[in-house]
Structure formats: structure tokens, C-alpha cells
Structure 1
Amino acid sequence: MRLFEHPDFEQAMLRAARHHGLSEQFIEKDYYITEILRIAVAELGEKVVFKGGTSLSKGWGLISRFSEDVDLFVNPELFDPRPGKNKINKILKSLTESVAAYPPLDWRREEGETIKGLGRNDVLAYESRFADLPGLPSAIRLEPGIQSGTFPTSEEPITSLLAQYLKEAAVEDFLDLEDIEGFEMHLLHFRRTFVEKMFALHGKVERLLGEDHPLGRDARHYSDLHVLVDQHEVRSISPPRSTRR
């Protein structure tokens, strides 16, 4: 039995929400994102790297903002032989199909997009046990692709906030369930994410100035950069103030 199949799943999430000081909707979404990542690791192992804004909260615990995007880098160099475009399409589609086979998720195919030979963008919805919370949709956007920096990465533990609470509180009814334990996953280091977000935001601002195209949800990069710039590992790659022009 898995956590979502337990008759007290909803009550467990409510207790976990109180324990962590978060909304139950946040706990629920975190659980489903964790299980998507678990499936990705089971499918691709070290060939898949968790990156992007959600990795900053889910993987590194640096921010509390929750994106619906799960950005995954699938490294084509780790396949033997290196796959061509058609094979890459099949690998990425197979990953989405494996995730969509997870019972609580509904693959909204009409909302997805495929960038041939490079990546895909799929929406997987779940039926929430709780009332809607503005800004936190009951859907997760899975974005696997082959375009990313490959260095530096770090293998980090991943576990759901729900499982973390249940283990800390030693809630016996749940401790032998299949998905109570965490797992290790390769993450793109947040130093690299900082640099990538800087470049991404620069491009968006140039477009704003040149074409009057609004930043929209890309403004979230500012809050992420604000947190990242305070990290020692990020400050260490920035030149001393005396050398800046």
C-alpha cells in the first residue's frame, strides 16, 4: 500500500500541514511531486537531473515558493549509444507515460507540447482532497528535456513533507508503506541555477524593454535570485566588489 491509498491519507496531510506550518494543499502537492521524482529516478537513474525553481524548494530547501513545474534534464551523453532525435522523443515520452501511469495523476494531453528532439511539456492533474487554494493549482507540469548544463551536480536526499512528518512522529499505521522512505536524486547545483536564472531574467528584461512584453510569472526569478545571492556557494563565484566595474 502507498500513502495515497491509506484510508487516513487526508487526515495525515492535515496533521503534517500543522506540523510544518504549511497549507494542506502545499503538503499534498509536495507529495505528488516527490512521487513523480521517484518514478523519474526509477526509470532513468543517474541519467536524470532535477533542476530549476522547484529544485530550490524541493531539493535544496532554500525557498518556500512552490512552482508547478518539474524541470528534469535527461543527459543524452549517458546513453550508449547516444540517442538521436527520434530516440530522444521516445525516451522523454516514455518517462511521461510512466509518470502518467501513477494512479492519482491524470495526463492532460491536450495541454502538453513536444519540442522534437529536445524536450516536452506535459500537464498531470490530480484530484485534490482539499478546497482550491489561489496560486496553487492541482496540477503539475512535467518538463523533461536534454538542454541543460551538466555541471555541477550533487546527489541529494528527496522525501515528501508528509513522509517526513509521519516518520518523525512515528505514526505506526504508515511506517511500513511503500513510499514512506526517501531516495537519492542528482540535482543541478543551485550555483548553476543562479547563473541560469540570471541569464533567463536578462533575456526577459531585454524583451520587456524592446517589445514591451510583460514579465508575467517570470518575475518570480527575482525572488529566487534574492535568496540565492545570500548563499555562500553563490557569493564565492561573484567577483569582489573592488574588482567590479
Structure 2
Amino acid sequence: MKELLELSKAERTQYFIEAIARSEKIKNPIVIEKDFWVCWTLDQIFKSESAPYVIFKGGTSLSKCYEMIDRFSEDIDLTLAKEYIGITEDIDPANATGRNQRDKRSAQFNMLYEDKIYNVIHPLLLKGFKQELSDNFNESEWSLAPEKDGRGNLYLKFIYPSALERVTEGYIQSNVKLEFGARGDINPFEEKIITPYVKNILTDVFDSTMATAVNSLIVKRTYWEKATLLHAEHYRDPNKKIKPRLFRHYYDIVMLDQNGLTKDAVEDVGLLADVVKNKSIYFEDKKAKYDEAVIGSLRLSPNEAFIEQLRQDHKDMAVMFFGDAPDFDEIMQKTKAIEGKINNARQS
């Protein structure tokens, strides 16, 4: 990673531009640059003291670790081990004996989680970032700071030292969001090696030192995480708007299916049950009908009430796909077919 940091701003720009010229899929230099900083950030995380307690997951892991999706997922989703933030059996919401106790423990859970981010994770990463960047960049060129989104979710925002014109609006911006969580499960996971697109494309320029090892949630669990998310979305309150970039989850499940994951997943319904149990406890939502998220009644296809919103969401995030955006109707049809494949699995 360091060899690119040691280049001048003009040299880095030149390589990002050359990479898109050589790439068959990626034609946006901002994607090439941002992907480098995503990989660099992951390298910092998994070389830090917190590494044994962190798992990489989500869309970015599907892209970087498993190469199963052809879209850019710019945020880094990470799960912290519950014991790392101080959750023991006697204060875990999973062991609560009633609703009041669960609510109290959930509030304590949130407090411990935020304390870990503010007072441990952020200072730890900030120190490492400064050590790695100080030789080549002024501190005015970058920042790493905690922020909260509109729903009050805490994350770290890394504004990296861009060699290109900085983008501050739209779906692909010149910053990396580190979205931590501790309510999800960290198992099962495996070690994977990731490399930046710029290295993969310019193989004659950069060497293997750009590779970094990460601990990633296994793709089969991510499949069920995505499937149960879509199940909950099927039962979303029709008076509430869908979240931005929701279409990506339908696309992801289709791509996972094309890579044989549906077959693998339905052979491990125990993992589905584990995902459902975790979400029922830590992401409680009666409207989600997690009790019906089982083989035979799982819902992946969207509620018709949200189709037009979802169609617009598909248009809005077209820039995030490599090459042409997937056809909306085709993705919806395939999602419906996958739903049938899952629910008919018990008959085979």
C-alpha cells in the first residue's frame, strides 16, 4: 500500500486515470481511487490491536473478498465481537427474561458500543492513520472523525487525501464510511486476501505488497443476512419510504444465486435459523415477521406498494454498477424465482 502513498499527487492521478483506461469494467477514476483507500483502511484495521475482535461483512466483502458482485460498495461494514465491547452473559439482551429487562439491556448495549467507538476504536485508528500518512500528507488533507447519520447510527468518516477532484455529493463521494456494529454475529468467518483495483489492473506497476488479509464473514451467512433483510422489507410499513440504495440487496441476492449460493444456503437451514434468531433479538421488529423467515414462507420479492420507489432507487444508484446497470425488471423476476427456489427446497 505504501508505494502508492509515496507517489506525488500528479503521479497518483496518472495511475488512477491509466487504470480506468485499461479496465474493461470500471470507467470512473473516483471508484479506482476510493477502492484503494477502502483497501488501505481495511489494512489499517486488521493490523491494529482491535483486529482479533473485528469481522468484515456486507456488500464490500462480497465484492472484495469473493468477487461475486459487479458494483462498487463504498462503505466498510464491520462487526465487533460482543465481548470486546463489554457484553457479558448477565447483561446480554439475548438472555433477558422479559421486555423491560431486554429494553434496559439494549440501552446498556448501545452505551457500551458507543463508548468503545468513541474512546477506543477511534483513537486507536486515528493514531495508526497518522503514523502511516504523516510522511506524505498534511493533516489538513485528511480526517477521521465519528459522526451520526439521520437515524442516530454512529460511524467513523474517513476523508482521505484525494489526488482527484473531491466529490462531496451523490452516491460515490471522496470519503469512506466505517460502519461498525456489535449486534450481528461474527461467526462463521474466514481469512481472505484483498487487493485494490489499481493493483489488479496495473499489474506491471504495483507489487504484491498491496495485498492485505482480513477476517470476513463467510458468504453463506451473508446470503441469509441479505435474504432475511429482503424478507423484512417485504413486510415494511407501506406508509414508510424505502431506504436509499435498497435495490442493491436484490441485485446482490441475484448475483449470489448465480454463483451457486442458493443451493449451498438451503443445505444449511440451521444457519438461516441462527440469523433469524439474532435479528429477532437484536433488531426486533414485529412488522418484519421474522417468525415466517423460514423455508416455505420466506419472502424476497418486494411488496408491490414499493415497486415505483424501488425502480427510482435503481435509477439513482446506476452509477455504482460497473458497466451498464442491471435491468430492473429482470432483477425483480430473478428475485421472485430465487424465492420460489428457496421455499420449494424442502420438497426436493
Change (3 A) 1:75 1:242: closer
1:157-168 matches, within 5 Å, as 157-166=193-202, 168=203
Equivalences for residues 26-37 of structure 1 within 5 A: 26-37=31-42
The aligned residue for residue 214 of structure 2 is 185
Q: Deviations over 1:63-89 (max 9, x none)?
A: 12112310111224469997x927634
Distance 1:220 1:244 in 2: 30
Report if the CA contact (8 A) 2:188-2:218 is conserved.
yes
Cα distance in 2 for residues equivalent to 1:68 and 1:99: 21
The AA in structure 1 aligned to 2:6 is E
Contact 1:57–1:66 (Cα < 8 Å) also in 2: yes
2:220/2:264 contact within 8 Å kept: no
1:96/1:122 contact within 8 Å kept: no
1:101-129, Cα deviation, whole Å (9 max, x unpaired): 364532355x436x99xx83122223543
Give yes or no for contact 2:223–2:265 (8 Å, CA) kept in 1. Answer: no
How far 1:187 sits from its partner (Å)? Answer: 0.5
Instruction: Specify the alignment match of 1:92 in structure 2.
Output: 121
Residue in 2 that maps onto 1:46 = 52
1:106 aligns with 2:113: no
For residue 5 of structure 1, report the CA deviation from its aligned partner. Answer: 2.9
Distance, in Å, in 2 between the alignment partners of 1:98 and 1:240 is 49
User: CA 1:235/1:141 → structure 2, altered by over 3 Å: closer, same or farther?
Assistant: same
Q: 1:212 to 1:98 in 2, by over 3 A?
A: same
| Higher strand proportion (structure 1 or 2) | 1
Does 2:253 correspond to 1:225?
yes
More helix by share: 2
Deviation at 1:224, TM superposition (A): 0.8
- Which of the numbers 129, 134, 140 marks the counterpart of 2:163? 129
* Cα drift, residue 55 of structure 1: 1.0
Asked whether the equivalents of residues 92 and 144 of structure 1 are also in contact (C-alpha less than 8 Å), the reply is no
Structure 1: gaps (5+ residues): none
Match for 1:232: what amino acid?
A: G
Pick from 192, 195, 206 the counterpart of residue 156 of structure 1.
192
Kept after mapping to 2: 8 A contact 1:201/1:218: no
2:44·2:125 contact (CA, 8 Å) conserved in 1?
A: no
SS in 1 for 2:154: strand
Code of the residue aligned with 2:42 in structure 1: it is L
- For 1:184 and 1:192, the matched residues in 2 are separated by 20
Equivalent in the alignment of 1:205: 234
**C-alpha displacement of 1:200:** 1.9
Q: What's the secondary structure of 1:62's corresponding residue?
A: coil
CA apart distance, 1:141: 0.9
TM-aligned CA deviation for residue 12 of structure 1: 1.5
Q: CA deviation at 1:185?
A: 1.0
Q: Alpha-carbon deviation of 1:146?
A: 1.7
Q: Which has the larger radius of gyration?
A: 2
One-letter amino acid of the counterpart of residue 105, structure 1: W
Contact 1:121 1:142 in 2 (8 A): yes
Is this contact kept in 1: 2:157–2:177, CA < 8 A?
yes
Identity percentage of aligned residues: 25
User: Residue 244 of structure 2 aligns with which residue?
Assistant: 216
In structure 2, what residue type is equivalent to 1:164? Answer: N
Q: Any gaps of 5 or more consecutive residues in structure 2?
A: 89-108, 134-140, 267-341
Q: CA deviation at 1:47?
A: 2.2
Q: Distance in 2 between matches of 1:193 and 1:98?
A: 31
Aligned to 1:17: 20
Q: Does 1:243 align with 2:346?
A: yes
Structure 1 residues 116-155: Cα deviation after superposition (integer angstroms, max 9, x where no partner): 9xx8312222354335595321121111222222222111
